[in-house]
Amino acid sequence: MDITFQSSADRRRCQFLFYGVLRHRRRIDTLLARLISRRPKPKLVAMLQVAVFELLSAGPERQPKVVDYAVGRIRRQMSRSEAGLANAVLRKIPAEDEKLQREAPAAVRFSHPDWLAERWTENFGPEAAEELMAWNLEPPPITFRVRGETPAIEALKPASWPGFVQLDGEWARVEPYLKAGMLYAQDPSTRLAPEALTVRPGEAVLDLCAAPGGKALALADALGRDTAGVLVAVDLPGPRLAPLDENLCKLDDGDGPRVCLLAADVRELGEETLKASRLPRLFDAVLLDAPCSNTGVLRRRPDAKWRLEPEDVEASAALQSELLAAAAKWVKPGGRLVYSTCSIEPEENAGVVKAFLKSPVGKDFTCQSQQIWLPWECGHDGAGVAVLVKGE
């Protein structure tokens, strides 16, 4: 269904409500289930979910207006009886939510699946688990990595991390700078893996699982204007290649490192593919930003927490182990391999690295450093980064 918005403000308001319901869904549905004995029609449920989120977001002085507006919309779009039900239910929500906050377990109060709350409580402790779940409920700010000089526009303000700025105005004001390649929209956590790779001008760099291309742009910027440098970006054939190609096209066409895009499964990438494109056989620096459970970025991807299942963490770790073993064969002696995820699960970070170092393909590597950034502590998305160095 196509939806036409009258203004950018209408679009932002719609996004705020949609993602708000998605983030707080369990809390909202629990409140409605406590107050309605028989589940209404799906349309009424959806309208009530939005209205409950607005109530929870509003101060006491605005709550009566929220109820009146929601009931009026339901009366116009449905029936008087359904509007009556909505009126009775919505006026009880604030008091019922106070009771829920006193009685319900953390997973319900902070709208997360039980198994995730239990896992994080075990891994980080109950207080930290609640901080993480509360963090995931907040809309993330829009941040940009600056490529070159920071544009002098009022719509931007400095972020807490060098090289990043934050949107502080209309998106339309920054769009020309995005199209020109001067800004790239990404969370500050994405700087961690490229920085850990410590790329130097003139090196041969391989970026695996490279889409959508933010890290590849950072690697290209690190290579500078040295024409001896090479950057090879690899990702699966299919729709992921389009945004990767679009972002790589933002690089200057003049002097600088050679940049090549390859469509391939990392596990099946062969020497013949590199040879056909006249690319190096081995690389000074290899980055593997592996697919993962996304538990470090649930604030940014609120849908993921409802799709995740406990077995997905183990499945991700198994795939990551395969990809890391495949990535290792492209590192030249003395070269660096950075393994990163946007997961905060030990199995997908320390567990994968530990198993790799014990494997035949990993015996030539040592772990120079390894760290997990926890969102509620570092102030940006969560991530895991390990630096592996191959012996001479």
Joined together, the tokens standing for residue 320 give 């990551």
Domain range 188-390, its CATH number among 3.40.50.10680, 3.40.50.150, 1.20.1420.30, 3.40.50.620: 3.40.50.150
Contact 274, 258 (CB under 8 A): no
Indicate the DSSP class of residue 371: E
Give 162-212 as a 3 state SS string: CCEEEECCCHHHHHHHHHCCCEEECCHHHHHHHHHHCCCCCCEEEEECCCC
Listed by start position, the domains of the chain span 8-104, 106-138, 143-185, 188-390
87, with CB counted inside 10 A (0-12, 13-18, 19+), is middle
Contact 130, 136 (CB under 8 A): no
> How does pLDDT run across 105-143, given as a tens digit for each residue?
999 999 999 999 999 999 999 999 999 999 999 999 999
With residues binned 3-state (H G I as helix, E B as strand, rest as coil), the percentages for the chain, rounded to 5, are 50, 15, 35
Q: Catalytic residue among 249, 292, 342, 378, which?
A: 342
- Answer yes or no: is pLDDT of 54 > 70: yes
- Answer yes or no: is pLDDT of 8 > 80: no
Angle between helices 80-90 and 42-57 (to 10 degrees): 30
Q: How confident is the model over 320-328, as a mean pLDDT? A: 98
- pTM reported for the whole predicted model: 0.93
E-assigned strand segments in 225-382: 230-235, 258-263, 283-289, 331-341, 365-373
Beta strand 383-390 with 331-341: parallel, antiparallel or unpaired? antiparallel
Contact 202, 169 (CB under 8 A): no
Cα diameter, the chain = 78
> For the chain, what is the mean pLDDT?
95
> How does pLDDT run across 225-270, given as a tens digit for each residue?
999 999 999 999 999 999 999 988 888 666 789 999 999 999 999 9
Of all residues in the chain, what percent carry a pLDDT higher than 90?
A: 89
**CB neighbours of residue 110 within 10 Å:** 22
pLDDT value at residue 148: 87
- Answer yes or no: is pLDDT of 100 > 60: yes
CATH number of 8-104: 1.10.940.10
378 given a catalytic annotation? no
Contact 360, 303 (CB under 8 A): no
- Answer yes or no: is pLDDT of 367 > 80: yes
pLDDT value at residue 9: 75
Indicate the DSSP class of residue 140: P
Q: What is the three-class DSSP state of 388?
A: strand
Q: How confident is the model over 197-201, as a mean pLDDT? A: 97
Residue 255, C-beta contacts closer than 8 angstroms, at least 6 positions apart: 225, 227
